[in-house]
Amino acid sequence: MLEELQRRNYSSETIRGCVFAVREFAEYYAKSPEELGAEEVRQYQVHLLRARKLAPGTVEGRISALRFLFKKVLKRRDLTFDDLTFPKTPRKLPVVLSHQEVVELIEAAPNLLYRTMLMILYGTALRRAEVVRLKVSDIDSQRMVIRVQQGKGARDRDIPMSPKVLEALREYWRWNKNK
């Protein structure tokens, strides 16, 4: 399965998630997935939703990994996954913090590194992993953008940045440079 995922150029996080899902499935039944079928997948899905109380999106990811294993890796044509429905995911509005709450959150950071990271996250809506991988060369202060290289889906993109974010980055740079 690992080779098939790599051959299709899936990201390392996707590969990790798929392998984890298949390992948990095999451990749940204490059998190789090759010995199991669609009914066991259905029962496992119910177990994930009811007993483990996993979020519908998490269950969908796990079942998709099993579908990939059975259809693409094991080439099992005897299984019908078409009637294996995914649970409905409730659509909720996100909790939006007030300006004062955002200020308090950023000021509560234990050091300048975390404060800067929180400001970037809030001010640009970058993903956590994208912020962690930022390099000085990704900051374009002339155009006021942050260049995200190989973000989610292996896509490059430019994200606008505010003068406050740029100043926070410069402050962190000066602080870190002296260390």
pLDDT tens, position by position, 125-136: 899 989 998 999
Total number of residues shown for the chain: 179
- Residues in Cβ contact with 80 at an 8 Å cutoff, skipping those fewer than 6 apart: 38
Per-residue pLDDT tens for 94-116? 889 999 999 999 999 999 999 99
Question: Are the beta carbons of 145 and 161 closer than 8 angstroms?
Answer: yes
**Mean local confidence (pLDDT), 128-149:** 92
Question: Are the beta carbons of 146 and 140 closer than 8 angstroms?
Answer: yes
Is the pLDDT at 78 greater than 80, yes or no? no
Using CB atoms within 10 Å of the CB of residue 92, give its burial: 0 to 12 exposed, 13 to 18 middle, 19+ buried.
exposed
Work out the angle at residue 17's Cα, subtended by the Cα atoms of residues 86 and 158, and round it to the nearest 5 degrees: 95
**Mean local confidence (pLDDT), 30-52:** 92
Q: Quote the CA–CA distance of 134 and 62 in Å, as a whole number.
A: 30
**Mean local confidence (pLDDT), 31-49:** 91
From first CA to last CA, the distance across the chain in angstroms is 45
Per-residue pLDDT tens for 83-95? 667 777 778 888 8
Is the pLDDT at 46 greater than 80, yes or no? yes
Instruction: Indicate whether this model's pTM tops 0.85.
Output: no
Question: Are the beta carbons of 154 and 133 closer than 8 angstroms?
Answer: no
CATH of 2-73, one of 2.60.40.420, 1.10.15.40, 2.40.50.140, 1.10.150.130: 1.10.150.130
Tell me which DSSP letter residue 63 carries. H
Domain positions in the chain: 2-73, 99-178
Q: Where does the chain show beta strands of DSSP type E?
A: 139-140, 145-148, 157-160
Q: Quote the CA–CA distance of 16 and 5 in Å, as a whole number.
A: 10
Is the pLDDT at 81 greater than 70, yes or no? no
pLDDT of amino acid 43:
93
pLDDT of amino acid 84:
67
Q: Sign of dihedral through CA atoms 118, 92, 11, 58?
A: positive
Residue 5 vs residue 155, higher pLDDT: 5
Is the pLDDT at 11 greater than 90, yes or no? no
**Mean local confidence (pLDDT), 66-81:** 83
Q: Where does 107-175 show beta strands of DSSP type E?
A: 139-140, 145-148, 157-160
Superfamily of domain 99-178 in CATH is Intergrase catalytic core (1.10.443.10)
pLDDT of amino acid 147:
94
